[in-house]
Structure 1
Amino acid sequence: MPAPLPMKDGVGPTRLRVPAEGPWPTVAAFVTERFSHVSADELRRRFRDGEVVAYDGTSLDADTPLGRHEFLWYYRELPDEQPIPYREDILYIDDDLVVIDKPHFLPTTPGGRYLRESALVRLRVRLENPEIAPIHRLDRPTAGLVLFSARRASRGAYQSLFERRTVAKVYEAVSARPADWDPAEPRLAGQRLAGQRFPLIYRNHIFRDPTAAQRNDPRVGVDPDRPPNAETAIELAGAGRSASGRAVLHTVLRPHTGRMHQLRVHLAALGVPILGDRRYPDLLPEEADDPALPLQLLARSLAFPDPLSGQAREFTSRRTLSEAPSTLQP
């Protein structure tokens, strides 16, 4: 469904479904309850100033009855949005594709308390191109490569690469070294893999729990009784001590599937959760970003056959993980 409002400063309008019936006499009454964190006066002002529109672009006023429109559009605003002091690097750009090297803490797309401080909006403004859209995403704490489409006409061709799993993805992660680590016999003693040596394949079934949002839990679930739908190849890159003095394990991860939080879930299940991870294996209280210990997960490289030219493409991140071993041990 095309948006009836244009892009504004790199930010597109947000679409909201309006219930056909309910206890609200008007659309404005529903919106006021739906967005209780915004003052009622501010919401009434937006209706009064024509900032809330229907599918055909006509403005909705505060008296528009519920049930007349299935959707409305508006511009999301975050007047108190704090700047993120970390910058994305553009590694490659042509008429169809933009490849960036994303820093830790920068969201790929707007969400939550981040709107303009997202890679997507920054790129649209920086390149003066409102058609830019992500082809895939990285979690906000994860650093590394992200591909963006620069042109709507060719976007589907690049998105199909991920749908067909023809993109070779390589990640790196750093975990705390297990207390029982034996450099002569490098093994992981996680679930179902006790004593298995590197390299190894880990599989399980990851699912989105529909009750998680109600419990304010942003994690995915794992069902040991269902067939695996997530698979990761794990290699040992090294073990030793980081520059900060931590005893660490450095792994290379090749996901064969792309489930939400897959790599974080798999390493946690193997007894080596990623350093800086505040969700797996345990959900920790939310805190301010810690630049001294960002999530030690990096999207290192992406390789694929270009769907337009047939040319083999490969991109590599220039970033490093701060806790990777600086002193290696056998």
Structure 2
Amino acid sequence: MPNSSNYIAGHVLSSCQTSSAAIAAQPSYIVLPRTNELAGKQYHTVIDFLIDHFKQIDPSVWQQRIEAGKVHWQHGGLIGINTAYQATQRVYYYREVVAETKVPFVEQVLYQDSNTIIVYKPHFLPVTPGGNYVNECLVHRLRIATQIDTVAPAHRLDKDTAGVMLMTLDPQTRHAYHQLFLDNKITKDYQAIAKLTPQLLAQLADNTCTLPMHWTVKNRIVAATPSFTMQVVEGEANSHSEISLVAVMGDLGLFTLSPITGKTHQLRVHMQSLGMPILNDRFYPILQPKGPDNFGKPLQLLAKRLRFTDPISGIEQDFECQGLDF
């Protein structure tokens, strides 16, 4: 395979969790909506909008950030408590968390050129800042390692999922790589480990079925409650995965998975719909209580291989990491 590389998934830096307060090294921004997009709401100041839009953040936090000079316009001008609302303008701010847990696994660059970085992302590491993570994310780590502050993802990969990712470097060509995913011109191959159903185990035991076994899963996936989870509902299918059972060890199976569409949590939901949720999944079939990550029990889902034709160079690219331990 050209430009391919193997990597031992889940290389550990440290076995202990450490936390510390953190302020994002890179600012986030939000575009102030036009008046006709506000559904009857009216804001006189920027802080009025921020408080109403980010309801999960205490109003005093925005006041403290503004007074400390941590909120500004795109050109760098500081936003004050009484700064007037200006529709369509970008407001930049720095995300903060009281305690940010260090993720004790390392990413590895598999390939780099002037437009892209192909990287192995370990389990538990978010791609971009979110929740209690501001600097412990793939984008920030790569910006430090490469000294390129325009590193950005071309697609999504869940925090809990490990595997190969395509990152872009040049804002002028970024859209071309993002379009690959929109046009289904990129092939993604996954692995997963799950506990087999009693019925399937019985069929394998009496040789009424043999490996590999294959399922085509098509159903309708929509947001559930809470909104960061997904569910299957009646209606026209909007998701499609091809799933195969390729090996068995005890009551566990090793699966290969190809997502034809790209819905949030699609493979996790599709495995659940087969009655075989992915091992160590904290969302499906039952949402587990919120708590610290258990670094000893990663979700057994891996984006193992990524194949595409580079839209700029025309080169056929094929990248793969080491598979799950089975």
With structure 2 as the length reference, what TM-score do the two structures score?
Answer: 0.81
User: How far apart in 2 are the matches of 1:68 and 1:151?
Assistant: 30
Which amino acid is 1:286 matched to? K
Unmatched runs of 5 consecutive residues or more in structure 2: 1-22
Which amino acid is 2:137 matched to? S
Q: Which residue of 2 aligns with 1:287?
A: 291
User: How far apart in 1 are the matches of 2:49 and 2:215?
Assistant: 52
Structure 2 residue aligned with 1:274, among 261, 278, 281? 278
Q: Which residue of 1 aligns with 2:246?
A: 237
Bigger relative contact order, structure 1 or 2 (CA pairs below 8 A, ≥6 apart): 2
User: How far apart in 1 are the matches of 2:107 and 2:131?
Assistant: 20
**Residues 18 and 27 in structure 1, CA contact (< 8 A), matched pair in contact too:** no
Change (3 A) 1:187 1:289: farther
More off after superposition, 277-286 vs 132-141: 277-286
**Residues 218 and 241 in structure 2, CA contact (< 8 A), matched pair in contact too:** yes
Q: Which residue of 2 aligns with 1:223?
A: 233
Are residue 133 (structure 1) and residue 147 (structure 2) matched?
A: no
Q: Is the partner of 2:100 in helix, strand or coil?
A: coil
Which amino acid is 1:47 matched to? I
User: How far apart in 1 are the matches of 2:213 and 2:56?
Assistant: 52
Change (3 A) 1:153 1:16: closer
User: How far apart in 2 are the matches of 1:25 and 1:260?
Assistant: 36
Q: Which residue of 1 aligns with 2:198?
A: 179
Structure 1 residue aligned with 2:139, among 120, 129, 140? 120
Q: Which residue of 2 aligns with 1:169?
A: 188
Which amino acid is 2:241 matched to? T
Are residue 97 (structure 1) and residue 116 (structure 2) matched?
A: yes
Matches within 5 A, 1:246-261: 247-261=251-265
Provide the aligned C-alpha RMSD in A.
Answer: 2.6
Q: Which residue of 1 aligns with 2:27?
A: 12
Change (3 A) 1:256 1:249: same
User: How far apart in 1 are the matches of 2:86 and 2:304?
Assistant: 49
Deviation string 1:102-147 (CA, Å, 9 cap, x unpaired) is: 1110011111111100001111111111111100111001011111
Give me the identity figure in percent.
32
Unmatched runs of 5 consecutive residues or more in structure 1: 1-7, 189-196, 242-246, 325-330
Change (3 A) 1:64 1:145: same
Q: Which residue of 2 aligns with 1:194?
A: none
Structure 2 residue aligned with 1:47, among 66, 75, 96? 66
Give the count of matched residue pairs. 294
Change (3 A) 1:160 1:11: same
